[in-house]
Structure 1
């Protein structure tokens, strides 16, 4: 279970605090592959960043005994000055990987970067960076994978490979996904959380959740 306990999140503006969540307490149940749904500006990306730990609430806390990935395919944890190999080994160490050589090989094989694996990430194309980030994440056994628009990972061939890997992972772990593509949500998820006016509602039935979201 992932528990949001009395979460308040706002962003400052010239008009004062713009609140996304006010004193929200909500349990995200374990054992589900969940799509996060909501209109533009409802707070989907904010909730995702809070779960990932890349942003913090202004008040309250998130409690879980599960291991959560960073957002799969996003490159926020990749250091531009380091090589692909250096990034891989650093990420492995941070996540407590015992056999770094084996982990490195898995990442290198999956990312398909060739010789560029030993070049600084700053020299990578826009498609190579998320491929490295995706490979680093999928090679670690997390309890929950946070997935943000998996269709943005690399070219069409790599996207197919990425989806297959995530579907395989979702058989043993769970996913929490943000996507604007309902076909993608249906492919990965069995339930939904709908965000509306700062409130979260869990739908055990995915189609019911999609119906409620589309009615907003």
Structure 2
């Protein structure tokens, strides 16, 4: 279970407050995979970061009764001055995982070779994405957060990502941001629409898609 209780999120932009979420309340059940929809700027990525704990709410509280991932492919949590290996060890210890198992998994998947022992700040964007995706899949979560990106890299790497993702989905749920209605239908059984600082939860994906299309109509 994940619950938002009177959650507000706002930023200061040029001295003015920009409200993203305004006293939002909703509960996400652990056995359900959810899609998050909304027009550009509605706060989808911000909501995902709040779910992950990457950012804190400005007001209210978020209760997580399950193990929630950071957004898959998100590399912003890596220390750019530390090597890929040291970053993985650090993350493994935070989540109580065996660093040796995580390293073995990610080294096999990410195929970074000698770069595993070089500072992450020297990585290309593709290398950082492979490292981030690998560690996301190496650590078992109850719920995986996905901001559009279901795979990274070239065609061969994307196929490997998809296979790993399907393996994790067998024992976990997802919360997915996507502009693709087919992706939402494929992976989610319920959906959330963000509009005007509020979050509306729909029990049926097709009803959510119809409402989303009206917003864009």
1:207 aligns to what?
206
The answer to whether the Cα contact below 8 Å between 1:37 and 1:44 also exists between their aligned partners in 2 is: yes
1:149 partnered with 2:109:
no
In structure 2, relative to structure 1, the CA distance for the partners of 1:100 and 1:40 (3 Å cut) is same
Post-superposition Cα deviations, 1:113-166, rounded to whole Å, max 9, x if no partner, equal: 122222221221110101101111111111111111215622232222212211
Normalising by structure 1, what TM-score?
0.92
- Matched position secondary structure for 2:13: coil
In structure 2, relative to structure 1, the CA distance for the partners of 1:59 and 1:189 (3 Å cut) is same
Q: Distance in 2 between matches of 1:128 and 1:182?
A: 29
Consecutive unaligned residues of structure 2, counting only runs of 5 or more, are none
In structure 2, relative to structure 1, the CA distance for the partners of 1:112 and 1:93 (3 Å cut) is same
In structure 2, relative to structure 1, the CA distance for the partners of 1:163 and 1:191 (3 Å cut) is farther
Q: How does 1:1-216 map to 2 (within 5 A)?
A: 1-14=1-14, 16-97=16-97, 99-151=98-150, 153-216=152-215
In structure 2, relative to structure 1, the CA distance for the partners of 1:185 and 1:157 (3 Å cut) is farther
- Matched position secondary structure for 1:62: strand
Q: Distance in 1 between matches of 2:157 and 2:190?
A: 26
When the two structures are aligned, how many residues end up with a matched partner?
A: 215
Q: Distance in 2 between matches of 1:92 and 1:170?
A: 21
Consecutive unaligned residues of structure 1, counting only runs of 5 or more, are none
Normalising by structure 2, what TM-score?
0.92
Deviation at 1:193, TM superposition (A): 0.8
The answer to whether the Cα contact below 8 Å between 2:146 and 2:176 also exists between their aligned partners in 1 is: yes
In structure 2, relative to structure 1, the CA distance for the partners of 1:171 and 1:151 (3 Å cut) is closer
The answer to whether the Cα contact below 8 Å between 1:150 and 1:163 also exists between their aligned partners in 2 is: no
The answer to whether the Cα contact below 8 Å between 1:167 and 1:188 also exists between their aligned partners in 2 is: no
